[in-house]
Amino acid sequence: MDVMAKTSTTTQGLRAAIERSGYYPALVADAVEAAVGGEPIRSYLVHQETTFDQNEVRRHVTVLVLTGNRFIVSHTDEQAADTTSPTPYATTSTESVKLGRISSVVVSRVVANPEQYTPGTLPREVVLTIGWGAVSRIDLEPAACGDPNCDADHGYTGNSTADDLSLRVSEAGDGPETVRQALAFAQAISEATADFTR
């Protein structure tokens, strides 16, 4: 398959995945396509999450797109009518990150019955965490020395963690195909960022 045909197929696949999510597909697709522009799409992942907030059901969709040079993240949320709007509304945002800025890609897999695991078995759950330095979490705690009788002030100790995006998919909640897509996207972005570190 030539590159142009593959790109067209990938773009159609992304649009179909957005439409399958059923979550304001015209709005989501428009925002994502504007962010991607004319760049060929290498990989994508569409994930819808439903949460319960007191008496309300809220939906959120995340679309991740990998191009040859960029990682694009789109988030869309729906909001109930409030003091700023008399009608319900949706907010969609996109962020475009140069692949060279991505500092970490972490893939955590949860596997049932690990003693019976065979290569190729689908994990029960996958958590994909991608960091590029836009958001960092700092965990601090009082520092101490080894002397239990010491009452000196040793300042603080802690660590800083890049925590720009964390996405969890599960076989039970999202279905096996979404877990496969998450793993495929994780592999594609890991390989793409490795190209920039060589």
**pLDDT tens digits, one per residue of 115-145:** 999 998 999 999 999 998 765 556 667 777 8
Tell me what pLDDT residue 139 has: 62
The span from the CA of 24 to the CA of 52, in Å, is 19
Q: 41-55: string of b/e by CB count within 10 Å (b at 16+)?
A: bbbbbbbbbeeeeee
pLDDT of residue 4: 39
pTM of this structure: 0.80
pLDDT, one tens digit for every residue, the chain (198 residues): 333 344 456 788 999 999 998 889 999 999 999 999 989 999 999 998 876 767 777 788 999 999 999 999 999 998 888 888 889 889 999 999 999 999 889 999 999 999 999 998 999 999 999 998 765 556 667 777 878 888 788 777 766 555 578 999 999 999 999 999 999 999 999 999 987 655
- Angstrom distance (rounded) from CA 8 to CA 15: 11
Exposure string of 76-107, with b = 16+ CB inside 10 Å and e = fewer, is: bbbeeeeeeeeeeeeebebebbebeebeebeb
Token duo for residue 90: 């949706």
Read off the pLDDT of residues 144-158 as tens digits, 9 standing for 90 and up.
Answer: 787 888 878 877 776
Contact at 8 Å (CB) between 56 and 30? Answer: no
Q: Which residues contact 5 (CB under 8 A, 6 or more apart)?
A: none
Rounded CA gap, 196 and 102, in Å? 9
